[in-house]
Amino acid sequence: MMRAIQGEVTAEMVQVAKEEKWEPEVLRAEIAAGRVVIPANNLRPREKYCGVGRGLKTKVNANIGTSKGTSGINYEKSKLAITIECGADAVMDLSTGPDIDGVRRALIDGCPIAFGTVPIYQATVEAQEKNGSFISMTEEDIIKAVKAQAEDGVDFMTIHCGLTLEALERLRNHSRITDVVSRGGSFLTGWMLHHEKENPFFTRFDEILEIARQYDITLSLGDALRPGCLADATDRGQIQELILLGELVERCRAAEVQVIVEGPGHVPLDQVEMNIKLQKRLCQDAPFYVLGPLVTDVAPGYDHITSAIGGAIAAAAGADFLCYVTPAEHLGLPDEDAVRQGIMASRIAGHAADIAKGVAGAADWDRAMARARKSLDWEEQRNLAMDPTTFDKHPHTRSKEGCSMCGPYCSMKIVSEYLGRPMGTC
């Protein structure tokens, strides 16, 4: 961001601009204004970078990571491989199992996509392991975790800086059903109430900015008070935190640090668009990173779908970055297939929104697929499919005569014949 403000078009900007079919200079100006970010730690040069923000293709993040006793490093590495195969633009390591440093380093080593973390997890888990309670975490532990992760090349970090004592006081006297469901938010809630102290991410925000500036880390301002159910959506606590996040966006920009803002959560369908527009307004068009939103609470096992519905509407309304939700959400840790399902659901949501927003080139893909369908060109359909692996796995017979869906009664064929049009000349 610093270099963008100084007018420099970096190699990363040129590459992203080409990918998005933009003029590099236009991209530079958007980065300088803070409406677009390229998450890229300067210690970790990669082959490919991705831009996140207004007017660009909607990007998708996948969360992976160990949990105590239920997942090991090798399994997480295989989930990372699927994440990359499935075309996610970023991955976050949310590990809370043993040896967080070791797991992160194993995952980030050679990772070709943007890599994110949540420093509060490391600070609390290590305090818990050392002293038997996460409450023993010190402010220094938090700064230490941010620094250690920065030095490992992490590209973006969730910083839960909007949860203040004032917001907590509001929560205490509030009628939420699920209170705080952000895990980082719940750690901080416990810590702040126990120690009767302000949130260190907020009080020591300048130190965090300094680290971010040094390594060119993109800060992702976490929404600790995001709603955990439809009934809690868009309440005073959530919006109070959002106002503060908007102020912190300004401090990031003043420090020339790239910043994005995280958002809900569980949100009824008719409140999704409003939430996005409010967020964009209060945060001066900072790129918006949404977790879902899930448009119903009652479909455990299908939350990739509840999230795809909310994500598509959100992205069409201006959200820039979708955090996937897997079918395992609310039930357990995702397995490999759940990771695939989650990424594909988010990519579908993002792409459907890109078409609606008129993002450059988005609709061309669908047009090519439509032509392949009309020609009964199965090889081309496979190549154009968002997930060719799943395409191949479907039980089928497919030929120039039709497929196992309609048997001999193929509408594509019948109509071409009687309209006197050869197949696929459209």
Which residues are documented as binding site for [4Fe-4S] cluster?
Answer: 403, 406, 410
220 Cβ neighbours under 8 A, 6+ residues apart: 116, 156, 157, 158, 159, 259, 260, 261, 262, 289
Q: Does 396 bind its own copies (CB under 8 A)?
A: yes
Nearer to its own copies, 111 or 305 (CB): 305
Q: Does 241 bind its own copies (CB under 8 A)?
A: no
In angstroms, what is the minimal distance from the CB of 142 to its own copies? 16
Q: Does 273 bind its own copies (CB under 8 A)?
A: no
Answer yes or no: are the C-beta atoms of 346 and 306 closer than 8 Å.
no
Distance, in Å, from the CA atom of 158 to the CA atom of 143, rounded to the nearest integer, reads 13
Stretch near its own copies under the rule CB under 8 A, chosen from 82-90, 154-162, 238-246, 294-302: 294-302
In angstroms, what is the minimal distance from the CB of 315 to its own copies? 9
245-248: Cβ within 8 A, 24+ apart: 245/161, 245/162, 245/221, 245/282, 245/283, 246/282, 246/283, 246/284, 248/161, 248/162, 248/205, 248/221
Q: What are phi and psi of 133, to 5 degrees?
A: -155, 135
- The only residue of 47, 69, 110, 254 in contact with its own copies, by rule CB under 8 A: 69
Contacts with its own copies, 137-166, as mask; x by CB under 8 A: ------------------------------
Stretch near its own copies under the rule CB under 8 A, chosen from 11-19, 111-119, 204-212, 416-424: 416-424
Stretch near its own copies under the rule CB under 8 A, chosen from 84-92, 111-119, 248-256, 344-352: 344-352
- The only residue of 179, 198, 235, 250 in contact with its own copies, by rule CB under 8 A: 179
Q: Does 70 bind its own copies (CB under 8 A)?
A: yes
Identity at 251, one-letter amino acid code: R
Reply yes or no: is the peptide bond before residue 265 cis, omega within 30 of 0: yes
Query: How many CB atoms are closer than 10 A to CB 269?
Result: 14
Distance, in Å, from the CA atom of 183 to the CA atom of 172, rounded to the nearest integer, reads 18
Nearest by Cα to 229 from 178, 163, 263: 178
Nearer to its own copies, 89 or 232 (CB): 232
Residue ranges for the binding site? 63, 92, 121, 160, 182-184, 223-226, 262, 266, 289, 330, 403, 406, 410
For residue 303, give the 3-state DSSP assignment.
Answer: helix
Stretch near its own copies under the rule CB under 8 A, chosen from 43-51, 80-88, 198-206, 229-237: 229-237
Positions 192 through 211 that interact with its own copies (CB under 8 A): 193-194
- The only residue of 301, 361, 399, 422 in contact with its own copies, by rule CB under 8 A: 301
Q: CA torsion angle for 93, 94, 99, 102 (degrees, to 10)?
A: 10
